[in-house]
């Protein structure tokens, strides 16, 4: 265009350019709004729904049984106490009336941890009984605790694992007796095996930290191969070690044995899981085989409670 033409048409073209720019911007906003609305419609979620329609994964039988045992003892008024897996030799043995060089140390095939700088020695706890010591050292009677947890022994076959689980019970007050212990165990086994009645048989036993010491067998029926019915029949199943806490243990833990007395008991959690849920071998418990876990595992959202049902 000549300079004159440019002068005349310039404003016209400027106006045209502005209108085109505006139209493009308007259309762009419109398309963006449409795209956002389409995305919001397609990605809409109901936040009140569970994250997944089907929970993935299952609860391990040991965790299930641990929750069941805790629920039952909580109902009986027991608090849960804990202790570390790596324990002082003193708490695992000496304060439980098993001094160094005592032959009872050979009853436990112990994993020892290297000596500390001060010469003291730690062990992987061979049972949950050191939690008794820890509890008595920091709490005055009355004491009523249950302590489920891991224990370790140099031991491995179909019913023994180097790492396994135990539960420990301890009751200390001015009058706790063997009769009370028997009642507690009866209530526990009734609730745990979900039967109306159980019968316990006491056998004299030996644990250095209890005197007298008693082992308990539960009446059951094993006449049909592969099946156990609890509370009836002519067979007996060994279930728990127990006894009256040795006065020397009370004294070593700072409790006046002239005034206080009590009972302790303990058994294998894995063993309870095997019995209740018909699992023949302990070794796959700790192999993390997903097929085994899916077969023997429990629904992830079912929390065992006494009124809601332990295993259903």
The rounded distance, in Å, linking the Cα atoms of 125 and 148 is: 13
**Residue of 93, 207, 216, 285 that binds ligand FA5 (CB under 6 A):** 207
What would the two tokens of residue 290 be?
A: 């997903």
Query: Nearer Cβ to ligand FA5, position 27 or 203?
Result: 203
Q: Please give the size of the binding site for ligand FA5, defined by CB under 6 A.
A: 22
CB of 130 to ligand FA5, least distance (A): 9
Q: How far is CA 221 from the centre of its chain?
A: 29
Decide: is 161 part of the binding site for ligand FA5 (CB under 6 A).
Answer: yes
CB of 230 to ligand FA5, least distance (A): 16
**Nearest distance, CB of residue 287 and ligand FA5, angstroms:** 15
Element (H, E) at 29: helix 3-42
- Single out the segment in contact with ligand FA5 by CB under 6 A; choices: 4-12, 154-162, 224-232, 273-281: 154-162
> Judged by CB under 6 A, does residue 242 bind ligand FA5?
yes
CB atoms within 10 A of CB 66: 20
- Phi, psi torsion values for 139, nearest 5 degrees: -135, 135
- Min dist CB 240 to ligand FA5, Å, is 7
> In terms of Cα–Cα distance, which of 210, 91, 87, 81 is closest to 149?
81
Report if residue 92 touches ligand FA5, rule: CB under 6 A: no
Contact range with ligand FA5 by CB under 6 A, out of 81-89, 158-166, 223-231, 297-305:
158-166
Would you say 56 or 106 has its CB closer to ligand FA5?
A: 106
Q: Which is nearer to ligand FA5, 93 or 298 (CB)?
A: 93
Q: For the chain, how long is the longest CA-to-CA vector?
A: 123
Complex with ligand FA5: residue 55 or 99, whichever CB lies closer: 99
210 binds ligand FA5 (CB under 6 A): yes
Q: β-pairing, 163-173 with 143-152?
A: antiparallel
Smallest gap, in angstroms, from Cβ of residue 88 to ligand FA5? 16
Given 129, 135, 147, 261, the residue binding ligand FA5 (CB under 6 A): 129
Binding residues among 256-275 for ligand FA5 as defined by CB under 6 A: 264-268, 270-271
With CB under 6 A as the contact rule, the residue among 75, 155, 194, 211 that binds ligand FA5 is 155
Task: Select from 105, 134, 153, 276 the one that contacts ligand FA5 (CB under 6 A).
Answer: 153
Question: Tokens representing 246?
Answer: 């040795």
DSSP secondary structure of 52-110: SSS--SEE-HHHHHHHHHHHHHHHTTPEE----SEEEHHHHTGGGT--TT-GGGGGS--
Measured CA to CA, the distance from residue 305 to residue 75 in angstroms comes to 9
**DSSP codes of every residue in 270-310:** HHHHHHHHT---SGGGGS--HHHHHHH-EETT---BTTTBS
Contact pick of 73, 91, 164, 285 for ligand FA5 (by CB under 6 A): 164
Closer Cβ to ligand FA5, 83 or 241, answer by number: 241
C-alpha–C-alpha distance, residues 139 and 124, integer Å: 24
Which residues are at the interface with ligand FA5 (CB under 6 A)? 127, 129, 153, 155, 160-161, 164, 166, 168, 207, 210, 241-243, 264-268, 270-271, 282
């Amino acid at each position: 265009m000549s300079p004159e033409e440019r002068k005349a048409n310039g404003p016209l073209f400027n106006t045209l350019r502005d209108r085109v720019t505006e139209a493009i911007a308007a259309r762009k906003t419109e398309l963006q709004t449409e795209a956002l609305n389409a995305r919001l419609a397609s990605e809409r979620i109901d936040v009140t729904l569970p994250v997944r329609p089907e929970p993935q994964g299952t609860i391990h039988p040991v965790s299930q049984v641990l929750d069941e045992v805790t629920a039952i003892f909580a109902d009986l008024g027991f608090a849960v106490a804990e202790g570390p897996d790596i324990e002082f030799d003193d708490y695992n043995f000496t304060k439980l009336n098993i001094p160094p060089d005592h032959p009872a140390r050979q009853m436990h095939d112990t994993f020892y941890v290297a000596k500390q700088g001060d010469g003291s020695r730690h062990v992987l706890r061979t049972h949950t009984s050191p939690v008794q010591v820890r509890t008595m050292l920091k709490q005055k009677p009355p004491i009523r605790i249950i302590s489920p947890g891991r224990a370790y022994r140099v031991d491995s076959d179909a019913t023994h694992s180097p790492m396994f689980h135990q539960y420990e019970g301890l009751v200390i007050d001015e009058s706790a007796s063997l009769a009370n212990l028997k009642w507690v165990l009866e209530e526990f086994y009734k609730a745990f095996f979900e039967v109306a009645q159980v019968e316990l048989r006491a056998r004299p036993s030996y644990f250095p930290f209890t005197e007298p010491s008693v082992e308990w067998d539960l009446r059951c029926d094993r006449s049909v191969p592969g099946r156990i019915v609890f509370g009836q029949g002519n067979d007996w199943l060994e279930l728990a070690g127990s006894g009256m806490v040795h006065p020397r243990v009370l004294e070593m833990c700072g409790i006046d044995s002239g005034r206080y007395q009590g009972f302790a008991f303990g058994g294998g959690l894995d063993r309870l899981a095997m019995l209740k849920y018909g699992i023949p071998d302990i070794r796959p418990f700790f192999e993390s085989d997903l097929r085994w876990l899916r077969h023997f595992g429990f629904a992830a959202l079912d929390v065992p409670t006494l009124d809601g049902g332990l295993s259903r």
